[in-house]
Amino acid sequence: MDALHSFEVIRPKTVDEALAARIAHRHSRMIGGGTDLLVNIRRRIETPSVLIDTSDLTDLKTIEHGDTGLSIGASVRLFEVAEHPNIQHFYPAIAQAAGSIAGPTHRNMGTVGGNLCLDTRCIYYNQSEWWREANDHCLKTELGDMCHVAPKSKGVCFATYSGDLAPALMLFGAEIDLLGPDGERTVAMRDFYIGSSRQDGSKGDGINYMAIKPGEFVVRVRASSPGRLISGYDKIRIRRSIEYPVAGCAAALTRDDDTLTDIRIAFTGTNPRPVFLEGTADLAGSTLSDSVLEGIDNLCKDQLMSMKTTFTPGHYRRRVATQMAKRLVGQLFNAAG
């Protein structure tokens, strides 16, 4: 139960070396802090033959902040994001999200790239091999073909995305720079997470939750300048640390006198993807009234989909995510007044 399968570890010094290793080893996985991946490997959820350790990639360890925005390398560790003065000042939602992840050991180990690519989670998936075997496995693993959360899902997986950074970055129109065998490309974060889990299978789900091609890896994430946006992050958890979010909410807005002129909301811990709430633009233009809050309610009802993937019931996660959003928007609006 305890032994890991045998694998090779490559520790490239440069991004070019990392890419070469990635091309040379088709079944490799990138490993940052390993707080997610090594635990999954121990559970034999996956058994990559080669791990490419990103911890020596100094080129990916920089945080740059300027007039045009923010750029964070994939190997930057989570505590560095949480403690960065410019991120705290200009992008409080991002700093707060990073500072709220798991516990201090995890934030020391975990990287931005790793958190963005955090595997989706489910109580039928993140368990020991013995446990999964006893439950006939599930379709997110190679050995199973059934979703225990939604037995009639016809091959669609509902495992939940739980990364804290993604919703906060999405507020600022963040883009992810990917490097792969075909070179570098940039994907908007809202397009990067594809876990819609639609019954027609038209897009991704809890298994295929990232628009990433074979051999590609995240090199950095870039956020636009916040302008006058003020932002914040809140999450509900049952205890203070070492816990995935029951639900997390990032929000940003601008206020001119009493008018809400921009409002953006994103969630984690609810769907198989981080959800950037669509349609909030229509809520801007007036003061923060009950009708705006009702509007948030309605958008959440349409877009949040929490299933029985965690020990906390789905109906609760969906409702409190919505409530958190409304509260956070209220707090930000007042703070901006």
Closest distance to another protein from the beta carbon of 69 (Å): 29
Q: Is 16 in the site for another protein (CB under 8 A)?
A: no
Please check whether residue 10 is in contact with residue 52, taking contact to mean a CB–CB distance below 8 angstroms.
yes
**Do you know the residue count of the chain?**
337
Q: Which is nearer to another protein, 23 or 39 (CB)?
A: 39
Kindly state the tokens that stand for 275: 């959800």
38 binds another protein (CB under 8 A): yes
Cα–Cα nearest to 218, from 193, 243, 196: 193
Beta strands in 124-240 (DSSP E): 175-180, 183-188, 217-224, 230-236
Report, in Å, the least distance between residue 228 CB and another protein.
27
CB count within 10 Å of CB 256 equals 10
Under the binding rule (CB under 8 A), the answer on residue 244 touching another protein is yes
Identify the residue among 20, 34, 180, 305 touching another protein (CB under 8 A).
34
**For helices 290-303 and 314-336, what crossing angle results, to 10°?**
140
Binding-site size, another protein (CB under 8 A): 57
Which of 19, 28, 35, 76 is close enough to bind another protein by CB under 8 A?
A: 35
Per CB under 8 A, 308 contacts another protein: no
- Taking CB under 8 A as the criterion, the residue among 68, 131, 281, 285 binding another protein is 131
Nearer to another protein, 128 or 186 (CB): 128
**Quick one: which of 105, 199, 289, 291 contacts another protein (CB under 8 A)?**
105
Query: Quick check: 250 and 226 in contact, CB under 8 A?
Result: no
If the CB atoms of residues 108 and 186 are measured against another protein, the closer one turns out to be 108
What 3-state class would DSSP assign to 44? coil
- Residue pair 114/33 in contact (Cβ under 8 Å)? The answer is yes
- Indicate the residue among 132 and 190 with the shorter CB distance to another protein: 132
Does residue 134 touch another protein according to CB under 8 A?
Answer: yes
C-beta of 51 vs 194, nearer to another protein = 51
- Helix (H, G, I), strand (E, B), or coil: what is residue 227? coil
DSSP string, 50-114: EEEEGGG-GGGS-EEEETTEEEEETT-BHHHHHH-HHHHHH-HHHHHHHHTSS-HHHHHH-BHHH
Is 202 a binding residue for another protein by CB under 8 A? The answer is no
Of the candidate spans 150-158, 214-222, 231-239, 300-308, the one that interacts with another protein by CB under 8 A turns out to be 231-239
What six digits make up the tokens of 143? 């050995």
* Candidate ranges 58-66, 101-109, 194-202, 252-260; the one touching another protein (CB under 8 A): 101-109
Q: Which residues contact another protein by CB under 8 A?
A: 1-13, 31, 33-35, 38-39, 42, 51, 53, 55-56, 102-106, 108-109, 123, 127-131, 133-134, 236, 238-244, 246, 311-313, 316, 319-320, 323-324, 327
